[in-house]
Amino acid sequence: MNNYLISSNLAISDNGFLFMSSTGETFTVNEIGKHILNEMKNRTDIEKIREKILEEYEVSEQILEKDLNDFLNQLNTYKLVEEI
């Protein structure tokens, strides 16, 4: 899985509200989305995040792979992350 660097302009609140200070755009994420973003903020490797979710949540590897890719693509589309 590719790795991404989260934008330093992105603020993440405890209830899943996101604010991009460079553009003024706002977003909302669900619980697991917030969890992923916080891990990314801590510079956790995507592969590691995937493993952690597999351990913590009731989900198959295939479904998680599909959903995680989709989520990262969305972050990329909104220019909240950069592929590294």
Partner 1 sequence: MNKKNYERPIITKQQSGFMNKFGASTLNLPKTEIDGVNVSDLANEYSSPLFVISEKKIRETQRNALRIFKTRYPKVQFAWSYKTNYLNAVCSVFHQEGSWAEVVSEFEYDRARKLGISGEHIFFNGPHKSDDSLTKAINDGAKIHIDHFDELYQIIELTNKLDKKANVAIRVNLDVGIYPKWDRFGFNYENGEAAQALKRISVTDKLNLIGLHMHIGTYMMSSEAYKIGVSKLVALANDLHQQNGTVLEYIDIGGGFPSNNTLKGQYLPAEQILPTLEQYADAITSSLFELKYPGNELPTLVLETGRALIDDAGSLISKVLATKRLSDGKRALIFDAGVNLLFTSFWYKHTISPAQQTGLYTENSKIFGPLCMNIDCLNENITLPTLKKNDLVVINRVGAYNMTQWMQFITLRPNVVMIMEDQSVELIREGEDLEYIMMKEKLPEKLKKL
Structure tokens at 6: 């989260």
Tell which positions 22-51 bind partner 1, by CB under 8 A: 25-33, 35-36
Beta strand 17-20 pairing with 10-12: antiparallel
Give backbone dihedrals phi and psi of 60, rounded to 5 degrees, phi first: -85, 160
Query: To the nearest whole angstrom, how small is the minimum distance from the Cβ of residue 84 to partner 1?
Result: 20
Residue 56 in contact with partner 1, rule: CB under 8 A: yes
Among 3, 38, 41, 67, the residue binding partner 1 under the rule CB under 8 A is 67
Site for partner 1, rule CB under 8 A: 18, 25-33, 35-36, 55-59, 63-64, 67-68, 70-71, 73-75, 77-78, 80
